[in-house]
Amino acid sequence: GIMQYFPGWGGVGPAVFLPLLGFALFFLELLAIVIPEAGMFLRKYGRRHRLTGLLHLIFLIFGIFNILLDIIPPLAYDVTLSLLGTALALSAAFDFRTAHSKQRVKNPASGALEDTTIVTFDEMLEHSFYQGLNVVQVLFLHLTPLLSSPLLRAAAALLATSPWLLRGYFPVHSFSANYSKQGQDPRTLVAILYRLKKYQYLLYKHVLLHGLNASVAVRATALGSRHSFRLYWLALNTAYV
């Protein structure tokens, strides 16, 4: 098989190695665009966000090698990656708060699918909530299987769900409002993509978040060390950027 050409790389099978290779090609293409403009990370305006973004990008790329070579324990890597994602969202929100306020930015829809869209302060603040959920979920998925009692695992699942009690303190943007406004053609490409984003969100919330948490609480499945999960977590955090 293909893996005979890559001995000693963490016992990763083709089902994980080939997607990782795809990730590597994606990041190579991204770096080909970013490196000539690397000075953007050092500019004064929004420097905190720029440097956080650079660190986050480096850590994402490092994740490919970490899955193959086990340089950092999976729990430490996954939690750090999620914390970096949260810091990235918050730094974007507050570094550009004035320039990206609703009073100054008038977007046709929430989200970033329109050609002229500028992500607002409220949108980044909302995004930080979901990045924070990633931190809570990955801690739950790594640590809960260590609990032998089903009652303790159920309690851990409730605790992992508790951040939703804070949801009302963050801005809320409706996906459906982006494609169901009066006078809007729901058949345009952008409207269709926003509808798909809503379905994607429903899949994430009910299956990949609550569903996965409930499954681990019931079955005590140790996902954290599996190469397939580590690939999934890398993909999820890449998609969040």
74: Cα separation from own chain's centroid: 16
Mean pLDDT, rounded, for 42-63? 95
In the block, residue with structure tokens 């140790």: 222
pLDDT band, residue 136 (cuts 50/70/90): very high
% the chain with pLDDT above 90 = 67
Mean pLDDT, rounded, for 133-148? 96
Provide the sign of the torsion angle of the four alpha carbons 104, 109, 110, 115, taken in this order. Answer: negative
Residue 22: other Cβ atoms inside 10 A = 11
pLDDT band, residue 107 (cuts 50/70/90): low
Q: How far apart are CA 49 and CA 28, in angstroms?
A: 22
pLDDT exceeds cutoff 80 at 155: yes
Q: How far apart are CA 219 and CA 206, in angstroms?
A: 18
pLDDT exceeds cutoff 50 at 8: no
Please answer whether residues 76 and 16 qualify as being in contact, where contact means their C-beta atoms are separated by less than 8 angstroms: no
Burial class of residue 134, CB neighbours in 10 A (0-12, 13-18, 19+) = buried
Of 142, 166, 131, 167, nearest in space to 240 by CA = 131
Distances (CA, A) of 36 to 28, 33, 164, 209: 13, 6, 41, 38
pLDDT band, residue 7 (cuts 50/70/90): very low
pLDDT exceeds cutoff 70 at 5: no
pTM above 0.85, yes or no: yes
Segment 10-26, tens digit of pLDDT: 577 888 999 999 999 99
Please answer whether residues 77 and 66 qualify as being in contact, where contact means their C-beta atoms are separated by less than 8 angstroms: yes
Residue scoring higher pLDDT (129 or 178): 129
Segment 89-98, tens digit of pLDDT: 999 999 988 8
% the chain with pLDDT above 70 = 90
Q: How far apart are CA 176 and CA 108, in angstroms?
A: 13
What phi and psi values does residue 79 have, to the nearest 5 degrees? -70, -45
pLDDT at 97: 86
Segment 179-211, tens digit of pLDDT: 676 566 777 887 888 888 889 989 999 999 999
Q: How far apart are CA 24 and CA 105, in angstroms?
A: 36
Mean pLDDT, rounded, for 80-91? 96
Q: Which residues contact 104 (CB under 8 A, 6 or more apart)?
A: 98
Structure tokens at 109: 């829809």
Q: How far apart are CA 76 and CA 160, in angstroms?
A: 18
